[in-house]
Structure 1
Amino acid sequence: MLAQSCTPIGVGQRGHVRNLSIGLARRGNDVAVATTGQPGSKTGQTEDGVTSERQQVPRPPTISVIICAYTEDRWELMLQSVASVQEQTLQPCEIIVCIDHNETLFHRCAAYWAHFAASTPPIRVIQNKYDGHLGSARNTAAEIAAGDILAFLDDDAAADKDWLGILTDPYQDERIGAVGGRPIPVFKAGRPAWFPVQFDWVFGCAYDGLPTSRGPLAHLIGANMSVRRTLLEQVGGFHSDNHDDMDMCHRVAHIKGSEAVIYEPAATVRHFVPASRPTWKYFWRRCFFVNKGKVEAFAQMGDAATLGAEARFVWYALTKGVPRGISQAAKGDAHGLARSAAIIAGVGLAAAGHVAGRIELARRLRRQGQQATKQMLDTAAQPVGEGSKCRLR
């Protein structure tokens, strides 16, 4: 069981969520019954009394698919998301829909899927029991999940039919701890000509610069990712609402090695992008505030934190993306220069956000240090009671 050591949102630091207690040990027998019921090995005796052990082929891991939702505005998209999981060529052992602090949506979902509790796969509708939001909702679902592998799909993303099979295939290698797939953007109003593909991450989609074949990746995309349940327990669950995917990946890589977190671009989902997101306002705010928030997230990770992925992204965007836009402009693409300019602006905004985050963190740590010093001085200045004085003999 995990110690619940992190402070809930609304009580402590903004954006960080309470650790869950994933009761894996108590579910051990339930998981065995819910899957194959076959033991991993069988021990017997030969006629001459010598004990022999006959190893059987290990059963494939079971998979729980977790979809978190918070608003009725995405109702039709959520229905498509759940339906896409039901139609997978590789069926999960369950689908968990976790509703984040929305009673109306919870009751609507519970009623809609009331007759699916005994279906194949069964659909379970639950409520986020912690104070946070996305990270806490995922923790709530992970706590009750029966699968060996936890696959996370956004409520506005629909999976291709072979998504789950491809996403979880790498887990045949015991060294693999987390696997992410490729969310492909589906624009409601079309992609703006000025918007660079290197920045599709701002609305949770795959972007130019990611591996084009299966390979290690420091930061999986939360709309389409998975992790071994035992490893999620080991890292203490999700620690953040705004950077839950990044935080989990860094912590898994820290204990298992960077090769344990991999990206499988063939595992695709279609991620809806509303018209409000591919805009300049959304672009600059995400570039600035995401990277500002990362500073606090990295500080919480301790030794697991690394800026290697960010440095590689900046290098690729500036050395590949900018020249490509200029070259396209020279060939007659009127928006090529605009994309190059947007890349430079996005990198600059990200850098500014990082600096602002470092300043904010330094100020907070200084205030905490000052408060601790003041408390020590106040304690030292308090008169010692007669009963506690030492008597010389």
Structure 2
Amino acid sequence: MSDQGLAGERAFSVVICVYTEDRWQDILAAVDSVRAQTLPALETLLVVDHNERLRDRLTATYRDATARGEVRVLANAGPRGLSAGRNTGIAAARGAFVAFLDDDAVAERDWLHWFAAGYDDPRVMAVGGRTLPAWASGRRPAWFPGEFDWVVGCTYRGLPPGRVRVRNVLGGNASFRRTAFDAAGGFATGIGRDGDRRPLGCEETELCIRLANAVPGAVLLIDDRAVIHHKVPAARERFGYFRTRTYAEGLSKALVARSVGASKGLEAERRYTTRVLPAGVLRGLRDAVLARPGGAGRAGAIVAGVATAAAGYLRGTLRARRGGTTFSSGPIAPPEAPARPHDALPGAAV
């Protein structure tokens, strides 16, 4: 499919994957933020993850918008989980570009405008944005280090500002050329989030590395003017979640490294752990000495986060070697005939 396609030169299909009625108001807010864009989206695709009641409710709510072609409600055509939901949205998308927004986030009005601006260069295959936390408590917990905002799905301290080239975009605030999926296949199943189960991730990292391999010279960008605000519930402001999420990240990184090789799978993480995190620890200790709130807690949380992520990575590496974990990726199937996932690249199954 060419970038012109049916949709025109700058048409975006926005995919929002949903799974629970507990986020009903968040889902409505996410859709409203897409419909209020200064660069109108071609369509918003709500992909429901194996929840018939939620799908029926959304279908009824957006019946008029569906009749106008503005909103479509789809059932996840693959296995339960975020990756298969995104793949379902990609398969159904009519736009030349596909953007992804989390179901508990709202986009600022120029979000799609800044995404579109990044594609003026034909080498650009993906553009991500900046994700800011909206803490349920109204403020960042004093102990929570900005270097670990990725724990709650947000842009973390250490990423360069402006519009910059990156190894991978972050999946909850990202866009791709539709042709990127023709070249590299879709998101790998078995590696990303699955509802409220262990919060695994890194599916966008694996996809972006695979895309760079499939399209020589491909450029991936983050433009921090493409802003969304991501809701952080009270449960995720607690240290218990922080520990669980960092451990899960280690598990996920082990899968990615096993698939694409440690040199590519951990390239960005080496700079992060050797430069960004030590600076964060020193900053926290300095604040503690100056009697600033949370300084010691932030320094301790960084050390704990590194330790639990390393433990997860070790466990994930051992499990992968024993064949205990599998994920797979393959071409995006048309919505009328979903394909069973299979390996897109040699060694994609772990």
Q: Any conservation in 2 of the 1:252–1:261 contact (CA below 8 Å)?
A: no
Matched, 1:113 2:113: no
What is the correspondence of 1:86-165 to structure 2 with a 5 Å cutoff? 86-119=35-68, 122-165=70-113
Matched, 1:286 2:253: no
SS in structure 1 of the partner of residue 98 of structure 2:
strand
Equivalent in the alignment of 1:167:
115
User: CA separation of 1:106/1:350 partners in 2, compared to 1, >3 Å: closer, same or farther?
Assistant: same
Moved more, 182-191 or 81-90: 182-191
Equivalent in the alignment of 2:163:
214
Equivalent in the alignment of 2:346:
none
What is the correspondence of 1:176-255 to structure 2 with a 5 Å cutoff? 176-189=124-137, 190-240=139-189, 241=192, 242-255=201-214
SS in structure 1 of the partner of residue 151 of structure 2:
helix
User: CA separation of 1:352/1:257 partners in 2, compared to 1, >3 Å: closer, same or farther?
Assistant: farther
SS in structure 2 of the partner of residue 277 of structure 1:
helix
Give the whole-Å Cα distance in 1 for the aligned partners of 2:83 and 2:260. Answer: 15
Give the whole-Å Cα distance in 1 for the aligned partners of 2:61 and 2:142. Answer: 40
Amino acid at match of 2:183: Q
Q: Any conservation in 2 of the 1:251–1:304 contact (CA below 8 Å)?
A: no
SS in structure 1 of the partner of residue 224 of structure 2:
strand
User: CA separation of 1:343/1:282 partners in 2, compared to 1, >3 Å: closer, same or farther?
Assistant: same
Q: Any conservation in 2 of the 1:299–1:305 contact (CA below 8 Å)?
A: no
Amino acid at match of 1:109: L
Which runs of 5 or more structure 2 residues have no equivalent in the other structure?
193-200, 325-350
Equivalent in the alignment of 2:294:
335
Amino acid at match of 1:100: D
User: CA separation of 1:335/1:261 partners in 2, compared to 1, >3 Å: closer, same or farther?
Assistant: same
Give the whole-Å Cα distance in 2 for the aligned partners of 1:86 and 1:63. Answer: 12
Give the whole-Å Cα distance in 1 for the aligned partners of 2:230 and 2:217. Answer: 27
Equivalent in the alignment of 1:385:
none
Identity score, percent: 38
Which runs of 5 or more structure 1 residues have no equivalent in the other structure?
1-23, 36-59, 366-393
Q: Any conservation in 1 of the 2:258–2:317 contact (CA below 8 Å)?
A: no
Q: Any conservation in 2 of the 1:211–1:263 contact (CA below 8 Å)?
A: no
* Structure index of larger Rg: 1
Q: 2:29 aligns with which of 59, 75, 80?
A: 80
User: CA separation of 1:257/1:183 partners in 2, compared to 1, >3 Å: closer, same or farther?
Assistant: farther
TM-score (normalizing by structure 1)? 0.76
Instruction: Give CA deviations for 1:139-198 in whole Å, capped at 9, x if unaligned.
Output: 011101011110000110000000110122110100101111011000112321101010
User: CA separation of 1:357/1:335 partners in 2, compared to 1, >3 Å: closer, same or farther?
Assistant: same
Compute the displacement of 1:305 (Å). Answer: 4.0
Give the whole-Å Cα distance in 1 for the aligned partners of 2:28 and 2:320. Answer: 41
SS in structure 1 of the partner of residue 148 of structure 2:
helix
Q: Any conservation in 1 of the 2:151–2:246 contact (CA below 8 Å)?
A: yes
SS in structure 2 of the partner of residue 220 of structure 1:
coil
Give the whole-Å Cα distance in 1 for the aligned partners of 2:45 and 2:94. Answer: 10
TM-score (normalizing by structure 2)? 0.85
Amino acid at match of 1:325: G
Matched, 1:349 2:349: no
Give the whole-Å Cα distance in 1 for the aligned partners of 2:322 and 2:170. Answer: 31
Amino acid at match of 1:328: D
Amino acid at match of 1:66: V
Give the whole-Å Cα distance in 2 for the aligned partners of 1:93 and 1:63. Answer: 5
SS in structure 2 of the partner of residue 172 of structure 1:
coil
Q: 1:62 aligns with which of 8, 11, 20?
A: 11
Moved more, 299-308 or 333-342: 299-308
SS in structure 2 of the partner of residue 117 of structure 1:
helix
Compute the displacement of 1:338 (Å). Answer: 1.3
Moved more, 212-221 or 301-310: 301-310
SS in structure 1 of the partner of residue 15 of structure 2:
strand
Q: Any conservation in 1 of the 2:147–2:277 contact (CA below 8 Å)?
A: no
Compute the displacement of 1:275 (Å). Answer: 0.2
Q: Any conservation in 1 of the 2:256–2:265 contact (CA below 8 Å)?
A: no
Higher RCO (C-alpha under 8 Å, 6+ residues apart): 2
Equivalent in the alignment of 1:49:
none
